[in-house]
Chains A and B, each alone.
Chain A
Amino acid sequence: MKAAPFAYVRPGSVGDIVAELARDGSKVIAGGQSLVPVLAMRLGRPAQLVDINAVPELNQLMRDNGSLRVGATVRQRRLQGDELSAAVPLVRLALPWVGHREIRSRGTVCGSIAHADPAAELPAVACCLEATMVLASSRGTREIPAAEFFTGALSTAVEPDELLAEVVFPVAKPGEGFGFGEFARRHGDFALAGVAVRVRTSGAAPSARLTCFGVSDVPVTADVSGQLRAALDTTGPVPSRAALVGALAEHAGDIALDLVDTAGDGHASPAYRRRLISGLVAREVTSAYLKATRSESERGSR
């Protein structure tokens, strides 16, 4: 369980990083929480590791108008604790589910997204929030929406010579509410099934966007506004939590049937995953809706 030989460089600037990444067989290392085990098991054999931790500008976490920009070396634990992340409540809801505290202390937000494990939380959050990925290479910089970023299990639109330099999350607006939940066999494990939800009540009719993870090769996003409205038609616009969960449960099975697309494994069959997603959808869409209506009324009373 020792890595095969590799070269190691620790550039001091983004320019030097992308120059190094242009060499064949280069691989970025930041927190190493996924890469180091891959190296130790000799499942990956990069010719060169490009350590990006020495570049201060990649460690920036900042509010930029309607966005929260998270640099490539920002640790998950820092984002979780920084008051700036209060502006993106879904991130705050999701981060406690990412691994364990020790893992979050080293693991980076961008690293988790670039690794693209189908059962990971942050890729789903990025998809649900329609985040933007900023990619840098010696050829320049480009931006990709989350919806186009994840191309398969552990595969993304990042080219071998590119660095995921930043992820840009939109800041929550009044009238938005969020829900997040997952099931794993143990605390801190990758999810068997999970959901991230954004509900908007600011428009003429409430809308709901659902991203499921752990149920396909990539995070799966669906517009479930119709189902939310149908549920609200039976409960009225100011439902109790139990009533709305009950009403949404009528639709949750169909949503799960639609979205769960995996062969399953020894921990959870597709059928069990559908069961989990059904429950999560009803619960978390309800949570998101109730928070959204609250955030709207808070705005109204201000």
Chain B
Amino acid sequence: MTRLARVEDAALLTGQGRFLDDLDPLPGTLVAAVVRSPHAHARIRSVDLEKARRLPGVAAVIGPEEVLATLKPFPLSVKTPHPYYPTATDKTRFVGEPVAVVVASDRYLAEDAAELVEIDYEPLPAVVRTDLAMEPDAPLLHDESEGNVATDRTFAFGEVDAAFADARHVVTRSYSFPRYSSMPMECYVVVADWRDGADGPEITAHANFHGPFSMAPVVAGSLGIPTSSLRLVVPADIGGSFGIKSAVYPYISLMALASKHAGRPVRWTEDRLEHLLASSSGSDRLMTFEAAVDDDGVVSALRVDLVDNVGAYLRPPEPSTLYRCFGNITGAYEIDTVGIRARAVVTNKAPTGLNRGFGGQQLYFGLERLIDDIARERGLDPAEVRRRNLVPSDAFPYATPTGGIYDSGDYHRALELALDNTDYERLRKEQAAARDRGEWMGIGLATIVDPSATNIGYVGLATPVEDRTARRGKSGSTEHVRVTVDPQGIVSVLLGTVPQGQGHATVARDLVAAHLGLPVEHVRPRVELDTATTPWTISSGSYSSRFAPLLTSALLEAADRIAETIKVAGSVLLGVEPERLELADGMVRVVDRHDRAVPFRHAAGLVHWDPGSLPDGLSARLYEEAAFTPPQSKAVSRTDQINSSLCYGFVADVVVVRIDKESLTLSIEHLSSVHDAGTILNKTLLEGQVHGAITQALGGALFEEMTYSDAGQPTAGTFMDYLCPTSAESVFPLTSGHLETPSPLTRLGAKGCGEGSSMSLPVAIANAVADALNAEGVEITSLPLHGNVLHDLLMTANGD
């Protein structure tokens, strides 16, 4: 039998996956349905739960009164007076906002009872557009605040105004980026149990939540309990997330409360309608980008004005979409002067959060469209403008004005590789010929820095320096593992990264096996996370492509210590000093005398069975924990600088599109994508990440958008209207290239590789469409792009 590419696949392919909805971890669990607001904005006059409570089979019904009686608002990352609870309390602020929860013996009954919940709403004017929400007379979402701008910060690094005053040319453009999700196949699932213990409530919650575990104290805070009284258990299999499931956490509080009232554990499985209405998405953004440019197209300074629409609440970790890319806000370019205004606005849409690429696709849509517009204004090829501005290869480590330290890279070489892989010069000639024939063909580029291993300290940026408490900074990108060896020499590896399909177990197994000289079958990875037993801290979890740079570094540190103990045990058996021993082929052997060897399992057995034979002072320990803690991840400085990620990879995309003149159907003729994620750990998995990121980018660029009517009603509430690309839409010629400039900061030189093209390809496609339609006078300033949009743009350009 051919070996499967991943240790995860046999179970998944044979229906043996362990997804939470398949599991019954707490016997006697009841089932919940959530009653949601049909109004975008309405005052809750009254809530009557009695009829629902009287339906046979219903165990409990809770609403705003029960929520307010027990829960506190979730702690926010800013001091804005926007109390956020897991249900509406005074007003509903978006369609789909939970208002009540019904707990019954099955979901059908729970939904029947949900229809009996009577809520008297007083509809209020709604606002969904970012620009309108900032108007002085806009409907106010949170009565106790002065306006809908939840956070507004201005930063200047270098002499920004002077640079613009002195500039030969200033190129200014405004863009908007749409709201979309990554649409995981599995929706949210929570099973929660509330027990009153001697020291207060003890909550056990099983959830397909993958972190960041900074949300664990947020949930505990809402429940009014210490974080250690909240036991979070995450199953081995999560059916995708791409960041979207980080927003499961409000439902953990809500279902814990439902369990308190039902007196039994409560399960809630989100359905697709709920998911599309009210789970999470990337934020939509209005932005203005401005560059000070010389005659040669070299950018000396940048001004960016970002306004994120975060929906009805500043749900943590928002407003982080603004700040996740703070250290790399100047992208791949050598620009040392930058002015930034960063605002987040609340509107009557669903709250936003992490989405693969988090903040990157929004940032680079502005920056990379601007670079193309600079090229057009200066009459230069967009590849040439990039060449003239990219951070030079000898500049690493490169310090950005905003505090980022780019650890390694060779941006020029990566760009040239991406161009060569499409035969760029020939392509431009082909394009000229196509234009002569009246055809619409376009070539789009994007060159971006791909940050990974987030330093969660960037959340501090949302708070002005004078309001930040000294010595209460936040920082860190730590990742944890535990490695143990059983008496037969089988190695277990417990990971704290909570994968959702990425294949962490496969890479962990292969690395440990190679490191300990064992066959891969002797290494058994475990990915279930239980906060009661798995080592973790606030920054744990799966986000910001942390596995490759961080977890593998911790893994080798723990494996090193296991190897030391095994060698000591081997030295007892062989009578040779441990320094002369090595681990290979399942044996502990003398470095230059391979016949003098004992099996690894005998050495492990000695530690378990005969610790009395170990040298004095050595503890008989075959379990090792490690927490990789890079010192480069510091809290925000007093000058508002931050190294917002540990590693900075690079992506260059070159995409060729053709637009059919009759139907305006857009087709991708070729994509050349070059990724530098440092040392490659597993080529197959890396390619899988590249393909996945490309497909999600395709969704955002061409198909997906969470649209709302002006009155705040979602207009893409089912898969009939929220269109994800399928395999039929995702097949086109792809040349994927790789460069490896190892990170000096991680154990293996690996950087994250999970997000890459999800940040770069949306704008590369926009640049290609702009290039194709340049002669028609069409400006591309937003996404998604499809026939109907192009039709309108062409009509507008023609003055129709």
Contact = CB atoms under 8 A, between A and B. Distances in A.
- Whether both chains belong to one complex is answered with yes
A268 interface: yes
Interface in A170-215: 183, 185-190, 192
Interface string B693-723: 0000000000100010000000110001101
B707 A266 contact: yes
A238 interface: no
Contacts of A269: 788, 791-792
A5 B720 contact: no
Interface in B663-714: 663-665, 703, 707
B107 A272 contact: no
B787 A268 contact: yes
A78 interface: no
B792 A1 contact: no
A277 to B, nearest CB: 10
Contact of A190 (B115, B707, B720): B720
B726 A272 contact: no
A275 B663 contact: yes
Nearest to A282: B662
A189 B664 contact: no
A153 interface: no
Nearest to A283: B662
Contacts of B791: 269, 271-272, 275
B368 interface: no
B715 A279 contact: no
A190 B271 CA distance: 23
A272 B728 CA distance: 23
Nearest to B790: A272
Interface in B760-800: 786-788, 791-792, 795
Among A3, A188, A190, A267: residue with most chain B CB under 10 A = A267
Contacts of B792: 269, 272
Interface in B228-284: 271-274
B112 interface: yes
A276 interface: yes
Given A41-B273, A268-B787, A269-B791, A279 B663 contact: yes
A185 B795 contact: no
B782 to A, nearest CB: 14
Contacts of A190: 720
Nearest to B707: A266
A41 to B, nearest CB: 7
B112 A183 contact: no
B609 interface: no
A186 B723 contact: yes
Interface residues of B, number: 30
Interface string B721-740: 10101101100000000000
Contacts of B112: 4-5
Nearest to A1: B271
B372 interface: no
B729 A183 contact: no
A2 interface: yes
Given A268-B787, A269-B788, A185 B108 contact: no
B725 A186 contact: yes
Nearest to A187: B728
B436 to A, nearest CB: 19
B108 A3 contact: yes
Contact of A276 (B273, B663, B703, B721): B663
B721 A266 contact: yes
Contacts, number: 69
Interface string A260-302: 0000001111011001101100000000000000000000000
B450 interface: no
B202 interface: no
A278 B788 CA distance: 15
B273 A185 contact: no
Interface in A2-46: 2-5, 41-42
A196 to B, nearest CB: 17
A187 B726 contact: yes
Nearest to A37: B718
Contacts of A186: 703, 723, 725-726, 728-729
B273 A272 contact: no
B444 to A, nearest CB: 21
B111 interface: yes
Contacts of B787: 183, 185, 192, 268, 272, 276
Nearest to A245: B662
Contact of B663 (A1, A5, A183): A183
A275 B663 CA distance: 7
Interface in B97-119: 107-108, 111-112, 115
Contacts of A188: 726, 728
A271 B787 CA distance: 11
Nearest to B709: A266
Contacts of B107: 2
B23 to A, nearest CB: 20
Contact of B788 (A1, A3, A42, A267): A267
B108 A271 contact: no
A268 B664 CA distance: 12
A60 B728 CA distance: 33
B50 to A, nearest CB: 21
Among A5, A42, A189, A272: residue with most chain B CB under 10 A = A272
A188 B723 CA distance: 11
Contacts of B271: 1
A5 B109 CA distance: 9
Nearest to A3: B108
Among B271, B663, B665, B786: residue with most chain A CB under 10 A = B663
Interface string B101-139: 000000110011001000000000000000000000000
Contact of B665 (A41, A183, A271, A278): A183
Given A185-B703, A279-B663, A2 B723 contact: no
Contacts of A279: 662-663
Contacts of B707: 266
B249 to A, nearest CB: 22
B487 to A, nearest CB: 50
A276 B790 CA distance: 13
A36 to B, nearest CB: 13
A192 B788 CA distance: 10
A2 B106 CA distance: 10
Nearest to A273: B788
26 contacts: A1-B271, A1-B272, A1-B274, A2-B108, A3-B108, A4-B112, A5-B108, A5-B112, A42-B111, A183-B663, A183-B787, A185-B703, A185-B723, A185-B787, A187-B726, A187-B729, A188-B728, A266-B707, A267-B721, A268-B787, A268-B788, A269-B791, A272-B791, A275-B663, A275-B664, A276-B787
Q: Which 5 residue pairs are nearest across A and B when measured between Cβ atoms?
A: A1-B271, A187-B728, A279-B662, A272-B791, A2-B108
Interface of B: 107-108, 111-112, 115, 271-274, 662-665, 703, 707, 715-716, 720-721, 723, 725-726, 728-729, 786-788, 791-792, 795
Interface of A: 1-5, 41-42, 183, 185-190, 192, 266-269, 271-272, 275-276, 278-279
Given A183-B663, A185-B787, A186-B723, 18 more contacts: A1-B273, A5-B108, A42-B111, A186-B728, A186-B729, A189-B720, A190-B720, A266-B715, A266-B721, A266-B788, A269-B788, A271-B791, A271-B795, A272-B788, A272-B791, A275-B662, A275-B791, A276-B787
